[in-house]
């Protein structure tokens, strides 16, 4: 009796070892997709930088505040800039044309006086010349009158030149001083960090009294209500992506839920360090509550086939063979593939039985 029991047990064990898993092709929907890791970003999210180096004297906003374009976020100590601006203002006021109107008035009066003398000396010279033509007066008197006239003409021309030169110089000095004041005001403005657009303050990266430079950001701002999905796609997959493609993604913050988006932008340059491209997607369905920098895992759908003939991918031998009748290999043509299934374009029908190959 014991011997018969052992024999039966061996038969069962051998039968179990010889059993092979089988399946038949099924008609199902299948999609081919590209995997991408991603994060949630506020729309128009950007880092805010200081335009100059210095110490923070005041922080005028807190995290979560809504701000408008041009609102002052942070002030930086700028005592040297304040003094320079004050000096530029003094120089501008001193060089202003209105402040120098008396100089121009005096130069113009001098020119008018020279013209009056020229006019008078011209009349006397003409009169002396007429008298000489009639034999009245000496040649020496005529030459003296001519010399006086010519000197008056020279003095008048010099006075005109002086007037116009003074006017040009004053205009130049005034314009230069005003430009210097503008430059000084612009430099002083660099010591004030402002918002570049309407939005929300998501992060203040510095504290009052801390040193800031032009390299490291001081704050992070972005849209207050609209978000997008930013993904990193490997360079090997980027050629298959197009704007408008569907994106299915999951988030650690909402486990077990799948959300949908669509590709809206493909950055046209590769990050050489990560060998990846940045791809942005707009939410179609999204969680009720989102925060910047939440992580996500996404699949960008390249193409979808409905009611396709499919088999499990682990039934494939290589990319073109399956087992039929336990030992017979049959060549098949593969279409779309996802992580679990492969589409069969030819080589099998839905009534064929295929065997899972041994691992």
Same domain, 237 and 211: no
pLDDT at 150: 87
pLDDT at 78: 63
Same domain, 232 and 326: yes
Assign residue 299 the CATH number of its domain: 2.40.30.170
C-alpha dihedral (325, 331, 334, 338), degrees to nearest 10: 40
Cα 225 from Cα 207, distance rounded (Å)? 26
Listed in sequence order, the residues at least 6 apart from 213 whose beta carbon sits closer than 8 Å to its beta carbon are: 50, 53
Same domain, 176 and 164: yes
Same domain, 306 and 186: no
Domain interval for residue 206: 46-77+191-219
Q: Which of 219, 238, 269 is the last residue of a domain?
A: 219
Copy the structure tokens of residue 263: 């590709």
Domain assignment of residue 10, yes or no:
no
Cα 118 from Cα 182, distance rounded (Å)? 45
Cα 231 from Cα 271, distance rounded (Å)? 13
Same domain, 273 and 297: yes
pLDDT at 325: 79
Domain assignment of residue 122, yes or no:
yes
Same domain, 353 and 281: yes
Domain assignment of residue 7, yes or no:
no
Listed in sequence order, the residues at least 6 apart from 185 whose beta carbon sits closer than 8 Å to its beta carbon are: 85, 88
Same domain, 101 and 139: yes
pLDDT per residue as tens digits for the range 31-83: 888 999 999 999 889 999 988 888 888 999 999 999 999 999 998 876 565 55
pLDDT at 8: 39
Assign residue 200 the CATH number of its domain: 2.40.50.100
pLDDT at 120: 86
Cα 72 from Cα 190, distance rounded (Å)? 11
Domain assignment of residue 237, yes or no:
yes
Total domain count for the chain? 3
Q: CA nearest 174: which of 81, 82, 109, 101?
A: 101
Q: Which of 219, 235, 269 is the last residue of a domain?
A: 219
pLDDT at 192: 83
DSSP structure class, residue 99: G
pTM higher than 0.75, yes or no? no
DSSP structure class, residue 1: -
Domain assignment of residue 6, yes or no:
no
Q: Which of 190, 208, 243 is the last residue of a domain?
A: 190
pLDDT at 357: 87
Q: CA nearest 347: which of 336, 334, 332?
A: 332
Ranges in the chain, pLDDT < 70: 1-19, 78-101, 177, 180-190, 359
Copy the structure tokens of residue 133: 């033509």
Same domain, 114 and 134: yes
């Amino acid at each position: 009796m014991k011997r018969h029991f052992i024999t039966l047990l061996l038969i069962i064990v051998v039968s179990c070892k010889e059993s092979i898993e089988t399946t038949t092709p099924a008609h199902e929907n299948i999609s081919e997709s590209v995997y991408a890791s991603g994060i949630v970003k506020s729309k128009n999210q950007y880092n805010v930088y200081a335009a100059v180096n210095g110490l923070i004297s005041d922080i005028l906003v807190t995290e979560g505040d809504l701000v408008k374009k041009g609102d002052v976020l942070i002030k930086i100590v700028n005592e040297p800039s304040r003094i320079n601006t004050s000096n530029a203002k003094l120089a501008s006021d001193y060089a202003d044309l209105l402040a120098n109107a008396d100089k121009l008035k005096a130069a113009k009066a001098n020119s008018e006086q020279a013209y009056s003398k020229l006019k008078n000396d011209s009349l006397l010279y003409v009169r002396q010349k007429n008298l000489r033509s009639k034999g009245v007066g000496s040649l020496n008197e005529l030459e003296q009158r001519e010399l006086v006239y010519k000197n008056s003409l020279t003095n008048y021309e010099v006075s005109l030149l002086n007037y116009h030169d003074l006017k040009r110089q004053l205009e130049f000095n005034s314009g230069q001083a005003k430009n210097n004041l503008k430059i000084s005001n612009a430099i002083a403005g660099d010591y004030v960090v402002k918002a570049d657009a309407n939005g929300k303050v998501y992060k203040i990266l510095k504290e009052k009294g801390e040193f800031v430079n032009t390299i490291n950001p001081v704050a992070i701002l972005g849209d207050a209500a609209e978000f997008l999905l930013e993904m990193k796609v490997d360079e090997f997959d980027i050629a298959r992506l197009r704007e408008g493609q569907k994106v299915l993604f999951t988030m650690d913050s909402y486990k077990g839920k799948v959300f949908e988006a669509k590709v809206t932008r493909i950055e046209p340059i590769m990050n050489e360090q990560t060998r990846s491209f940045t791809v942005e997607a707009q939410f179609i369905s999204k969680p009720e509550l989102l925060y910047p920098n939440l992580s996500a895992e996404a699949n960008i759908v390249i193409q979808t086939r409905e009611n396709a003939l499919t088999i499990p991918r682990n039934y494939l031998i290589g990319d073109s063979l399956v087992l039929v009748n336990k030992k017979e290999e049959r060549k098949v043509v593969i279409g779309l593939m996802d992580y679990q299934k492969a589409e069969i374009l030819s080589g099998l029908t839905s009534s064929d039985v295929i065997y899972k190959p041994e691992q």
